[in-house]
Every structure is written in C-alpha cells, then in structure tokens.
Structure 1
C-alpha cells in the first residue's frame, strides 16, 4: 500500500475510534454523493436519560471555505436506548462533517464528545482521506461559531494534533493552515512555546518570496498574541504598502476580533475595526457578536448604549425580544428591557414588505407583533405599570383565533385585567381561551375565584369553569382512550424510603400510577411538578395511588434520601426498585416512564419521556386515571 494510504488509514483510526462507543456511521468510509446514516447512543454522556434529542451538524472543507455557522439541525429517531439519523449526500467541495447532540428543549445540555465533536471525514475512491478531512475539522473549531453557539470549549491539544496530522499528510497545505496552526500552539501554551512559534512564523515568511498582505496581517496578529509588539508593528509597516484597506486585511482583523477572549480587548478591537472599515461585509457578524457579548457580560446599560445608534438593518428584533422577556422573567434590568422591546417593535414596523412576499408573510408579521407586544406588556407589568400593561396586552392577545393564542400571555392578560378592574370586560376573551385549551391552571383558578366572588357561590363557579372546558376534555378523553393498552400487570413487592412494604396485591381495586425515575435523570425531575399536580387532583380519593418508583439509580440509596429531603415532594411515596426488577417486568425501556394499572390489575397505559409541558402532562394523567376509574 502507498505510504500516504497507510498514513491515511492510521489517521482515520485515530480520528474515529474515540467516538466509536457512542457514535457510528455507515458507510464506514463515506464519499462525496453518499447519504450517511448514523447511530448515536447517549448512555455515559451528559444526555443519558433524555428522551428527546436532536443533532446539529456542519460541513467543512479547506479553511477558506469555512463559514460562520451555528449548525444545521438533524432530526433523530429513537430506537430503544439509541437514536438514528441521516445526513444528506454532500456535493464536491466537502471534506467531511462534524456533529454534536443536544436536548432541543434544554439547549445548553449537550454532548460535544469531550470537546472533539463527532467527526465524519470523507474518503476518495482509494480509501484515502480526502484533502482537508483532518485540518478542516480544526477549522470548524477555530473559524466557526459552532462550538460558541453550543456553549462549548475547544481543546487546544486536539486542535494542534488535527493541524499536524493534516500537514504531515498534505504538506502542500501549509499556506492554508500555517497561521491557524501557530495560533493553536499559542493557545496550547506548552512550556517554551513562544520561541518555537516565533521561529515557525519567521521560517514560513522567509519561505515566501513575496508574502501577501493577509500573511503579514496574520503574522502580526500572532506576534501580538505573544506580546511581541515590536515585530507586530514591523510587519504592519510592510503590510500597509501592500493593501492597507483590502479584503484580506479586513478578514484578518475580523478574525482577530472574533478570537479575542478578553471582553474589554474585544470591544476595543471591534471599535477599531468599524473605524478602519466602516462598510466591511464582516460588520454584521461582528456586531451580533458584540451585542451578545454585552448581554453575557451583564452590562445592560452598555448594551443599550451600543444598540441605540445602530441602524435598524443591524438590529435583530427577535434577539431583543428574547432578551427583554428573559430580563422581565428575572425581574432585573426592567428599564433596559422596556427599551429593548420598544426598539424591537420599531425595527419590526420599519421592515419593508419583500418584493415577493410569501402567502403567510402578513400573518407571520402580525404574530411577531403580538409576541413583541406581549413582552412589552410583561416588562411594564413587572415595573408596576399595570394600566399601561393592560392596554398593551389588548394588542398582544389573539382574539380572532383563540386556538392559536399563547397560554402564558393569556394568563398574564387575565391577571392584569383583574388588577386593573377590567375583569368583566376581559372575561369573554378568557372564556374563549379556556374553551380552546389555551389556558393553564393559574388562569382557570383565577377565573373560578373571580366568578365565585361575583356570584357568591363557590360550587357554581366550579361548575362554570368545568362547563367551559367540557368539550375540550371530552375530545382529549377520546384521544387518550385510543392510547390505552390491556396487559397483565406483573406482581411486585418493594420497600419505600420510609421502610414500608408496598405490593401490587395490597393495591387491588385501586388505579395505580407508577412513575419510574432516577435522581440523575433530568427529564424525570422536570416532570415531577406535573405529577405532583396530578397527584394533588386525587388527594382525597382513596381509590387512586401514585408510586414514584426509583430505578436504575446506580448509586447509594442515601443519594435518593438526600434528593427527596431537599425538594418539596415530601408526600411522594417512593418505592425502591432494587436491581431494576420491577422496571424490567413492566417493559421500561427508558426513563421517565409512566405506567397506569386499572383496578382489575391490568396495565392500561405506558408512556415514555416528558414533553416539557407540565399542564398538558397533568391533564393527561388526570383524564387517564378518571377513565380507568370509570372502567373505560
């Protein structure tokens, strides 16, 4: 076999093996034009126990073609304990793909393969890695925002190795990678790196008969990174004579802004860039980065001062809405939150209609306007400006199509209406929200209390709300009825955390809800408030029993005791499923899993995972229990 082929094989083994236990793909040596199927196993990763996952991937090639990317979402199909997916066929100009996995409902919970991501390098027809299959991976880390968006950190040692492997296999690629490789060595900070990197830079420039402006710019930036401003300035003097305002200079300076880790220096570098290149194509990306940086640094006044003079075309209204809403949720920076959402509304109103708008463009704009007005009203409400907030909520609620309205906005509107004495005016809208299922328990409870106070009859108020949602609950009951199963319930006997014996035989004649969970399972814990709500619904019903079965714990029992002691679930009955015997008997494939047993000792429902919607989960559980109590 050719030396390069042998080396390519060894490199492929080195790159693929670290992820093999969690991530495999087919074909094993994909080529351009082939669809890549993959299998991902989240066990022993930060995503273990999560039931809803997605992949995000980027394609890569040579450094010059790398783009600032947040990744393309990839839907995953759950197959028991693992997930499968497909990546589309790639055209020429792609050296490989890199993928990460995350919980889309909790985006900060990710699996980044210990900072290396999961790689799919491409091969040629001779089973050799294509050019840039390795160095391109390093470029994803150093030249895109992929890891930044996933809130991950780059491993500098891995970065250096990827560059070295690429340059050993393809030494002719040195002009494309030399500066990135040098920067990686600087960030690696191995003992004696300074003289080594400077010698490498000098050697490279000496090998170039006429260094380009871009090469001189990069070299100057590297010397600055190492604090050698004398050499950096000397290189800048050479560079000015070549192309002082050209695209290469702009690109290099933009990269310097992106790569600067120090926030104060980053802002200064951005200001200098804008001054030197006021019309640069790199400006929008850098502006977004600085905007996000102000928010992450907690400098809200600085953020407002930065955004204020920007033209509308440089402002992302959706980002402003998200930040304003989060600030209002946190009850901090409320003055700034109000300013931000007002600016977002101004930007939205100023957006011109596209020359070829989609059929949904007008409706989408109206939906965004309502969303922004809801945030504006919430920010006003959190400042105690209830009168202004109520008037603003009237522009935020969707009365023309209640079925498509936002539940949280509906709740806030109703509570604000009550505080401002507008209950009777708002009641028809709120009744429509309840009838269409666009309400939550807080809204319904407030509506029930309002009606009871108005009529002086608590029982009549209870009936009033029940009638409003009668049709909706009837429809949901029919939908849930179709999910019922009918299997014998295996006998069990467990001991709970209080030392009490619990057996299925002792619960005969009751509807029994089993919630299988573990302390390490985040979705399990996230579903507890919903389950507590469902349990409270039947608190006075001796014919219903909820059991929160701890299983697959993998640790000392004391951990479960400590966990329950620190949380407001003291009335939970927690049997311990030692050895997973009960979970296995009840066909539990993942947690959380809810199993409901009818009074005759038959398993009638089994559901895995958690949707993230506490209200919906609680309603489903209560309706299912009611169905089984009725013998349906």
Structure 2
C-alpha cells in the first residue's frame, strides 16, 4: 500500500490547491483509501464505495478514483472520473486534471492553449498553481529553443520562477539570453533581506552565471563569480561553482590550486570531459614526465572498486519474468533472447521529464559499453499517452541526437496495461533494472537523482560489473 499511496501523494502534491495545503486533508484521504484497500469483505467494500460516491464532498469521490486506479479497475476509474467532472466541474480534481494536461502537453503551443482554457474555467485559481503552469510552459519553450516564448512566460511568474532550470536550457543554445535571465535573478536576490534564505540561492546563480560567462568567453568575469560561489560553499561541496572555479584556475595557470579541487570533482563524479582534461593537464604540469591519462585511470579504477564494495550490500536476487517488447521495426523481442548477457532496462516515456533528464548519462553509459558484446541496453518506451508512441519516441531521440536502442512496450488493447511494465511489477518511471546473464535482477533504480552525469555513469558501471561477475 505504501508504494501505491506514494502515487496518490504525488498527485495531490502537484497542486497546492488540490492538496489544500492541509495535512488533515491528506490524512483523511489516506485513511479512507486504507479503509477501501484493506477491506476483505466484498459486500462491505461495495457499501463503503457507494457511501463515498453518494457524498457531496469531492474528496470522497477522489478516494474511490484512486482506489480503482490502485487496484487496476481502470474502466471504473474512467467512468467515475467522467461523473466527477460533471458534478464538480470547477473542483480540485478538475483543476488537477488541467494542470496534468499542461504538464504532459506535447509542445509549448499546446500547453499555452490548455492554460488559456484553464484560466477561463478557474478564474480564481491560486497564484501558486498559475505560477506552476507558467513555469512548466516556460521550461517547455526553453527545451524547444524558443527563447521569446520562454521568457514571456518566465516574466509572468510572480513567485519562485524556475530560473535555474530555464537558464540551463537556454545555455545550450542562447548563452546571452541565459546570462541576462540569471543576472536579473541575481540582482533581485541581492535586494532581499539577509535572513530570507536568499544567500544559498544567490550562490547557485553565481555558479551558473560563471558557467555562462565561460561559454561566452568572458573568463575574467567568470572567475569573479566562480570565486564567490567557491568561497561561500559549505564543507566539501562540489557544486557547479566549484567546478567553474577549478576550471578557471587551471586555465589561468594556477595548477597547484586547481589540482586538488579537480581531483575531488573527479572522485565525486562531478567532473566532465573538459574538467578531466584540465585535471590531466594540471597533473602533468606539476609532474613533468608523468602521464596524466594513467593518473586518471588509476583514480577511476579505485572509484569503481569502492562503489562495487558498497553496492554489493544492496544487490538483489530476484528472478526476472520473461516479458516481451518490440523493437523499433515491430519485431517481438523477449528477455530470454539475451540469455548470458548483462541486460540494462530503461523504462521511459516522452512525457516523463526525469526519464529524459537521465539520457545524457545513459548515452555516456551506452558509449562506454558499446564494444562489450556481453552488455545489452534496452530503452523501453512505456506508459504512452499518445496514439503515436513509436513516432514520438523516434522523433525525440532523433531531435536530441541520442543513439539509444529503442524498444516499445505497447499498451495491450484489452487490459490497457503495458505488458513489460506490468510483468516486472513496476510502479513508476523512470525505472532502470540491471539483470545478470542468468536472468536475475541485481539492481533496480527508480527515479533520477540530481548527481552529475558522470556520477550516474560510475554507479551504473559498478552495477554492471557486479552483475557480470555474478553471472
């Protein structure tokens, strides 16, 4: 029940209005949900459902909807949802549904149309919900490389705009616009009271601004802001500001100061190819005649060994069911087809932001093992919401220059479930599984953390190596 109820809390947490920012609301909802979930007598269960669905309280209807969802009674769920929308056309669930449609809109233009309709249907919508919608659209337009529309929606946000996310997206194609957005946010933060918690945020802005200035070729300006972030860091923090500072120290010939910071970034998985080059160069400058590549390889081996030692304690020993998917040409493929190989499954969807956020790291992992015939990656598109999932998945990978082996977990027409996703008893995406050559699940990762891509690659590499050894 805990896993199922996490879904419920995630849903009501999407909108502060929907959750009513009220712990009592959530507690009551959980209590009623448990009462249905734990009722073993079918007659009494139906009586409870009838009582809730004859209530004038929208919360009672929501409880039954999520009970149907949790127990796989999707036709009943859909029917009750339709009735709920009629009974409470301007209720919390209808608002939530509108926000979900914005969140999973295909593109910025479609999301804008949904927002316009939402404003009409909910004229008294809370600022926090409106800001949430504007944030989602601003982020979407930034991903689509439409600076004008992204900034239009960003400037409409009254509280807590997602400046860091949007600026990072802008940085990929419009560094000048990213610099302007971040500088404006920094100027606003400097005017806030010292006890408002803005210092940590200001340092994050300094870190990002430094990265942007590096891309613009303004290294002197970049070093100034990188030093601010570095000097104000807490403990052994290895944030972007630290990375920028170490990079700039090295480019300025301050190798002795740069080397320990660059090494720490490398060990923490917070490095990248550019920083690795600076680490190699800094080492060689301080150790004439020594090979920096050998130095890096030694650190990498030690790092993977340490990760393996820790991960050994968390290894699973669950036999994987023999599910099937289809490849991008429509051919059926089953897990048993890869017997003897270490298989990495990555369940994703084009509407899933964390799934897509993991792809740069996963591409690095695929590249790392591309010449290893004993390792096989399957990127399985599942839980689709459109009528053209294969085209959507192909287009997304192509547009973002990802070379990931695509497979499809198409929804069954009768059960409306995704066979592979259901067979593995998964609840959420992104979900990544590492299966050894004997078909045993050794590791399962749900969600995607905030670590740098290199850190994720190191962890996944350690998992793969352990799975190979267990086969």
Note whether the superposition's TM-score is higher than 0.5: yes
Which runs of 5 or more structure 2 residues have no equivalent in the other structure?
A: 1-10, 13-19, 34-65, 72-89, 106-110, 135-148, 413-417
Q: Which has the higher helix share?
A: 2
SS in 2 for 1:410: helix
Partner of residue 241, structure 1: none
Q: Which residue of 2 aligns with 1:390?
A: 223
Structural mapping, 1:543-562, within 5 Å: 543-553=374-384, 555=387, 559=391, 560-562=393-395
| Aligned pair partner of 1:599 in 427, 437, 455 | 437
1:444-463 deviations in whole A, cap 9, x for unaligned? 53345425764562541333
Q: Find the counterpart in structure 1 of residue 133 from structure 2.
A: 151
Structure 1 contact 484–605 (Cα < 8 Å) conserved:
yes
The residue number in structure 2 matching 1:248 is none
1:417-444 deviation digits (Å, cap 9, x = unpaired): 3333334432222223334x26133465
Alignment of 1:360-379 (within 5 A): 367-368=200-201, 370-378=203-211
Contact 1:495 1:576 in 2 (8 A): yes
Query: Structure 1 unaligned runs (5+)?
Result: 1-21, 24-29, 42-77, 84-95, 119-136, 153-292, 300-314, 355-360
Q: 1:340 to 1:327 in 2, by over 3 A?
A: farther
Task: Give the corresponding residue for 1:582.
Answer: 420
Q: Distance in 2 between the 1:376 and 1:110 partners? A: 30
Q: Using the alignment, how far apart are the partners of 1:411 and 1:509 within structure 2? A: 41
Secondary structure of the residue aligned to 1:574 is: strand
Closer, same or farther: CA 518–532 of 1 in aligned 2, 3 Å = same
**Which residue matches 2:253?**
421
Instruction: Report the CA distance shift for 1:589/1:79 in structure 2 as closer, same or farther (over 3 A).
Output: farther
In structure 1, distance between residues paired with 2:165 and 2:311: 38
578 and 378 in structure 1: CA distance in 2 versus 1, 3 angstrom threshold: closer
Pairing partner for 1:481 from 279, 301, 312: 312
Distance 2:162 2:430 in 1: 35
User: 1:45-124 residue pairs with structure 2 within 5 A?
Assistant: 98=92, 109=103
1:624 is aligned to 2:466: no
After superposition, what is the alpha-carbon deviation per residue over 1:94-130, rounded to whole angstroms, capped at 9, x for unaligned? xx9957659x9x9972899x77999xxxxxxxxxxxx
Alignment of 1:278-293 (within 5 A): none
Any idea what the Cα deviations from partners look like across 1:163-220, whole Å, max 9, x if unmatched?
xxxxxxxxxxxxxxxxxxxxxxxxxxxxxxxxxxxxxxxxxxxxxxxxxxxxxxxxxx
- Equivalences for residues 110-189 of structure 1 within 5 A: 141-142=123-124, 144-151=126-133
The match for 1:45 is: none
Distance in 2 separating the partners of 1:587 and 1:538: 28
SS of 2:448's equivalent in the other structure is coil
SS in 1 for 2:429: coil
Aligned pair in 2 of structure 1 residues 140, 478: CA closer, same or farther (>3 Å)?
Answer: farther
Q: Which residue of 2 aligns with 1:608?
A: 446
Distance 1:611 1:622 in 2: 16
Q: 1:377 and 1:627, CA in 2 relative to 1: closer, same or farther beyond 3 A?
A: same
Aligned partner of 1:296 in structure 2 is 152
Q: CA deviation at 1:486?
A: 1.3
Tell me, in whole angstroms, the C-alpha distance in 2 between the residues paired with 1:490 and 1:294.
44
The corresponding residue for 1:433 is: 265
Partners in 2 of 1:617 and 1:336 — Cα distance?
31
* Pair 1:536–1:345, CA change in 2 (3 A): same
- Offset at 1:386? 0.9
| Correspondence for 1:410 | 242
What is the SS of the residue equivalent to 1:433? helix
Count of residues in Structure 1 that have an aligned counterpart in Structure 2: 364
Structure 2 CA distance for aligned equivalents of residues 98 and 561 of structure 1:
36
Superposition deviation, residue 586 in structure 1: 2.1
The CA distance in 2 between the partners of 1:151 and 1:33, in whole Å, is 23
CA contact under 8 A between 1:390 and 1:416: conserved in structure 2? yes
Aligned to 1:9: none
Note the alpha carbon deviations across 1:250-309, whole angstroms, 9 max, x for none: xxxxxxxxxxxxxxxxxxxxxxxxxxxxxxxxxxxxxxxxxxx9963899xxxxxxxxxx
CA distance in 2 between counterparts of 1:375 and 1:601 reads 43
Q: Once the 2 structures are TM-superposed, how far is the Cα of residue 483 of structure 1 from its aligned partner? A: 3.5
1:307-326 mapped onto 2 (5 Å cutoff)? none
Structure scoring higher RCO (CA < 8 A, sep ≥ 6) equals 2
- Per the alignment, in what secondary structure is the counterpart of residue 539 of structure 1? coil
- TM-score w.r.t. the length of structure 2 is 0.59
Separation in structure 2 between the aligned mates of residue 617 and residue 438 of structure 1, nearest angstrom: 8
